[in-house]
């Protein structure tokens, strides 16, 4: 065994990793659970000898992103059944390191993504003294379809199983099990928003960072049953039971999932889809209603969003410039706003903006910014941020869109998978500021600026070419949502 073959011992057995070019020890594809179809995860079995952990393991089955998003968002697919696996990067393999731990939950609308994308490599966190863990969890129907007789939210149960593995094993990789930060973006952050109120997750993490997602995206059981019934109809199932769905060949199930997503986008009517008609995600956590964490939940929070999130879905598709005014008004009304009162407020700060640009501002608030604010308000002492760096892509119109912060969080701005979002000359100073804040928060619980005070300054760090904290950005727009969202 050479110095390029670090070995750590888990409760299931020893694993052999490799050293990366940056000097971190990487252990890839470690199984943390097994996934019986439509059943809760079960603990992995032990192995004898030393298991190689030098390449990424299989990824959860999924439907590829449709164009044009397949070219914009990093996505990989590795076949295999043992896809409930995780990856660890550490600067100090072996017990006794006492290092903070960051566990990453990927996004992808609960239907795409993986922890195995090179865009999520944890070398920079390890370089800066943080043990980084990324993982896969069940997606789509396997993870989130509501089925009588089996537990809901199997994808969340997978995440809890991974966090339990971290609690039981991370000390062997140099981590401090009392300083675990769970971090996620989009569906990963929305997952954390639900985990914060789940008893099963209590005590598994000390801190949480939620990027572009909060606790507001879920399906009530009645809406979830509409999704299940429509998917069963598409598959010609006599009854929407878990036994019937389990009998469907996986490729056929995945194809129908993809078609279902397209149907919601084409006919976003609440009578057909319930809550999914607003966010067009057929697979989400199923809960009885909004559950914000208790003020004394025992978890430090850093939450935020990107300034122009929804441009990711408007600019590449060409919808930004052709969206009609009646559609803007209908969306604002569906979100609970009075268009006659709310739209002038948004237009005042954006003189000359077309309807699509105002839709981006309204939808960004409904989908991302207001849920982040509600979390910060619910847990006193939280920290708030906004990512405002505008991408040069699409002639500069893509803006500070959904997902464009990821390259900077991972201090990997020149990773080719990010180029479509960041452009080809991303500013390293923004990565230094944002990645540095995440490292500081995981290490000490303080990212480097003042806490968010709902009754006071509402301090918000703005990450841009020149980053700095401001008090209560865009208060008039925020106040439109009081009592609405």
pLDDT in tens, 358-416: 999 999 999 999 999 999 999 999 999 999 999 999 999 999 999 999 999 999 998 98
Determine the 3-state secondary structure of 465 from DSSP: coil
In angstroms, the Cα distances linking 182 to 134, 163, 207, 294, 300 are: 10, 9, 6, 18, 10
Q: What is the DSSP string of 108-147?
A: STTTS--TT-GGG--HHHHHTT-EEEEE----HHHHH---
Stretch 224-251: mean pLDDT: 96
Which among 92, 116, 186, 223 is annotated as catalytic?
186
Residue 22 annotated among the catalytic residues of the structure? no
Same domain? 274 vs 308? no
What pLDDT was estimated at residue 3? 53
What pLDDT was estimated at residue 74? 79
Same domain? 255 vs 333? no
CATH number at residue 170: 3.40.50.1820
- Give yes or no for residue 2 having a pLDDT over 50: no
Q: What does the block give as tokens for 20?
A: 């990366």
CB of 174 closer than 8 Å to CB of 132: no
Same domain? 179 vs 232? no
* Residue ending a domain, choose from 140, 165, 185: 185
Residue 233 annotated among the catalytic residues of the structure? no
Q: What is the pLDDT of residues 274-291, one digit of tens each?
A: 999 999 999 999 999 999
Same domain? 307 vs 387? yes
What pLDDT was estimated at residue 75? 86
What pLDDT was estimated at residue 1? 40
Same domain? 270 vs 308? no
Stretch 60-81: mean pLDDT: 92
Same domain? 448 vs 369? yes
- Give yes or no for residue 40 having a pLDDT over 50: yes
- Give yes or no for residue 142 having a pLDDT over 60: yes
Rg (CA), the chain: 22
Same domain? 356 vs 325? yes
- 2 occurs within a structural domain: no
Q: Domain residues for 160?
A: 7-185
- 248 occurs within a structural domain: yes
Separation CA 315–CA 331 (nearest Å): 18
Same domain? 89 vs 133? yes
Which among 106, 146, 216, 402 is annotated as catalytic?
402
- 448 occurs within a structural domain: yes
Same domain? 76 vs 12? yes
Residue 269 annotated among the catalytic residues of the structure? no
pTM above 0.85, yes or no: yes
Q: What is the pLDDT of residues 430-460, one digit of tens each?
A: 999 999 999 999 999 999 999 999 999 999 9
- 192 occurs within a structural domain: no
Same domain? 86 vs 154? yes
Which among 309, 357, 405, 415 is annotated as catalytic?
309
Count of other CB atoms within 10 angstroms of residue 248: 17
- 205 occurs within a structural domain: no
Same domain? 256 vs 401? no
Give the number of domains in the chain.
Answer: 3
Stretch 40-68: mean pLDDT: 96
Same domain? 28 vs 120? yes
């Amino acid at each position: 065994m050479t110095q390029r073959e670090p070995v750590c011992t888990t409760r299931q057995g020893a694993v052999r990793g490799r050293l990366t070019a940056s000097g971190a020890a990487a252990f890839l594809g470690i199984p943390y659970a097994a996934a019986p179809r439509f059943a809760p995860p079960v603990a992995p079995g032990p192995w004898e000898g030393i298991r190689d952990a030098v390449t990424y393991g299989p990824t959860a089955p999924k439907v590829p992103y449709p164009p044009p998003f397949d070219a914009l968002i990093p996505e990989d697919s590795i076949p295999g059944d043992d896809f409930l696996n995780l990856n660890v990067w550490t600067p100090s393999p072996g017990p006794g390191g006492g290092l903070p731990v960051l566990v990453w939950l990927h996004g992808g609308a609960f239907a795409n993504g993986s922890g195995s994308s090179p865009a999520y490599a944890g070398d920079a966190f390890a370089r800066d003294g943080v043990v980084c863990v990324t993982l896969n969890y069940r997606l789509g129907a396997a993870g989130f379809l509501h089925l009588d007789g089996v537990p809901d939210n199997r994808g969340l149960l997978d995440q809890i199983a991974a966090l339990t593995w971290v609690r039981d094993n991370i000390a062997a990789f140099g981590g401090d099990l009392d300083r675990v930060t769970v971090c996620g973006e989009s569906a990963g952050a929305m997952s954390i928003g639900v985990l914060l109120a789940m008893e099963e997750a209590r005590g598994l993490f000390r801190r949480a960072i939620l990027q572009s997602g909060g606790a507001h995206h879920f399906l009530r059981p009645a809406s979830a049953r509409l999704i299940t019934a429509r998917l069963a109809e598409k598959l010609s199932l006599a009854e929407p039971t878990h036994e019937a769905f389990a009998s469907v060949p996986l490729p056929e199930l995945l194809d129908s999932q993809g078609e279902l997503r397209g149907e919601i986008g084409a006919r976003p009517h609440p009578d057909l889809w319930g809550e999914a008609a607003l966010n067009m995600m057929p697979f989400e956590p199923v809960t009885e209603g909004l559950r914000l964490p208790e003020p004394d939940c025992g978890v430090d929070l850093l939450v935020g969003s990107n300034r122009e999130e929804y441009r990711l879905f408007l600019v590449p598709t060409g919808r930004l410039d052709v969206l009609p005014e009646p559609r803007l008004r209908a969306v604002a009304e569906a979100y609970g706003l009075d268009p006659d009162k709310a739209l002038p407020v948004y237009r005042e700060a954006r003189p000359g903006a077309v309807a699509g640009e105002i839709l981006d501002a309204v939808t960004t608030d409904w989908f991302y910014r207001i849920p982040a604010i509600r979390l910060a308000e619910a847990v006193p002492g939280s920290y708030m941020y906004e990512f405002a760096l505008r991408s040069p892509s699409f002639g500069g119109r893509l803006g500070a869109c959904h997902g464009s912060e990821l390259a900077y969080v991972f201090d990997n701005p020149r990773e080719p998978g990010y180029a479509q979002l960041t452009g080809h000359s991303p500013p390293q100073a923004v990565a230094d500021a944002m990645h540095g804040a995440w490292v500081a928060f995981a290490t000490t619980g303080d990212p480097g600026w003042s806490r968010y005070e709902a009754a006071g300054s509402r301090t918000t760090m703005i990450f841009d070419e020149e980053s700095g904290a401001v008090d209560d950005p865009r208060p008039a727009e925020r106040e439109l949502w009081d009592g609405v969202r």
